Structure formats: C-alpha cells, structure tokens
C-alpha cells in the first residue's frame, strides 16, 4: 500500500500549486504511472486547463455522508412556509452558467479548501453576497455562492 494510492486516473484531487497557489484547486487525474512516488509526474486537468504536477503536490478531496434526505425534509418545511426553490441557476440570476439540480460540483470555501464531489439540490433567491445554491453538505440549509462551485459533471455522475 502506497502513500499515493488515492492518485488514480479519473479521480478528483486537489492540486496545491507550488507557484504561490496560483492554480490551486480541484483537478481530475488524466494519467498517472502504475507505481507512484512523491516525484512522479501526474497529468491533471479541469475543463479549461491541464498541468503536469508532482504526486507530492496532490491531496484527496474528502467526501462525507449524504444529507440529501434531511435537505428534502427541510425544503418541504420551508416551501410550506412560502419559500421558493428553483431547478436552474439561470432561474434565480442572470448567468451564462448551465448549473442545474443534479449536477455534481466541487465546493471551494473562502480559505481554499475543496470539498466534493457534492450534488446540487436546489436554488433559492440570491442573498448575502449571491448565496443561492444548495448542495448536499452538512450545512445543506446554508446556500453557497456560484463562484465557489466548479461543475464536475452534468446530471449526477462523476
């Protein structure tokens, strides 16, 4: 068992860019050697870029248990109180984004820590700096800003 067993083709990982964090973020592994050491070269990519990085610069993105059932109960209670929920980001703000319920995203908090993949569960009217996206997280009742989310896949599978 290797320290780098989490590095597998197709996995979503976090790259700690040694260039002052310039490109830190969630990346998918495109290719990796069979036996990985700390100085092995790994090809990673996002929808808009790719990079060859060292295995030692990568870390796993933790996932947690699903809170979708709790969210659905909470949502039903809020709807009974008159709160509205929507299925697309474009229904609540002017955007070019195609983000919809069921999409899988990576969430990056204000400190640069990435969590995911997480499922988009609903959208609400923007408030508090544009917060309007509800995702499957332990804080399912607190919406995230669209700029904190990176679409990993459309329709639910990563």
Q: Is residue 20 part of a domain?
A: yes
Nearest to 25 by CA among 94, 96, 112: 112
> What is the separation, in whole angstroms, between the first and last Cα of the chain?
25
Q: For 66-78, how does the pLDDT look when each residue is reduced to its tens digit (9 = 90+)?
A: 899 999 999 999 9
Q: How many CA atoms lie within 13 A of 60 on its CB side?
A: 9
Q: For 66-111, how does the pLDDT look when each residue is reduced to its tens digit (9 = 90+)?
A: 899 999 999 999 999 999 999 999 999 999 999 999 999 988 888 8
- Same domain for 49 and 120? no
Q: Is residue 132 part of a domain?
A: yes
- Same domain for 138 and 84? yes
- Same domain for 56 and 105? no
Structural domain total, the chain: 2
Q: What is the pTM of this model?
A: 0.66
- Same domain for 75 and 101? yes
Q: Is residue 22 part of a domain?
A: yes
80, 56 Cβ separation under 8 angstroms: no
- Same domain for 52 and 82? no
Q: Residue 157 pLDDT more than 60?
A: no
Cβ neighbours of residue 20 closer than 8 Å, sequence gap 6 or more: none
- Same domain for 89 and 42? no
Q: Which residues span the domain enclosing 89?
A: 68-153
Report which secondary-structure segment, H or E, holds 80: helix 68-80
């Amino acid at each position: 068992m290797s320290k780098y067993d989490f590095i597998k083709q197709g996995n979503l990982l976090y790259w700690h860019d040694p260039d002052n964090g310039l490109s830190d973020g969630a990346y998918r592994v495109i290719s990796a050697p069979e036996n990985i050491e700390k100085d092995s070269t790994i090809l990673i990519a996002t929808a808009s870029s790719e990079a060859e990085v060292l295995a030692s610069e990568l870390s796993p993105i933790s996932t947690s248990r699903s809170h979708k059932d709790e969210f659905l109960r909470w949502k039903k209670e809020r709807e009974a109180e008159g709160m509205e929920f929507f299925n697309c980001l474009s229904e609540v703000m002017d955007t070019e984004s195609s983000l919809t319920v069921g999409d899988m995203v990576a969430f990056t908090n204000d400190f640069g820590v990435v969590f995911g993949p997480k499922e988009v569960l609903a959208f609400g009217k923007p408030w508090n700096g544009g917060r309007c996206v509800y995702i499957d997280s332990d804080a399912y009742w607190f919406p995230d800003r669209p700029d904190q989310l990176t679409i990993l896949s459309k329709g639910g599978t990563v």
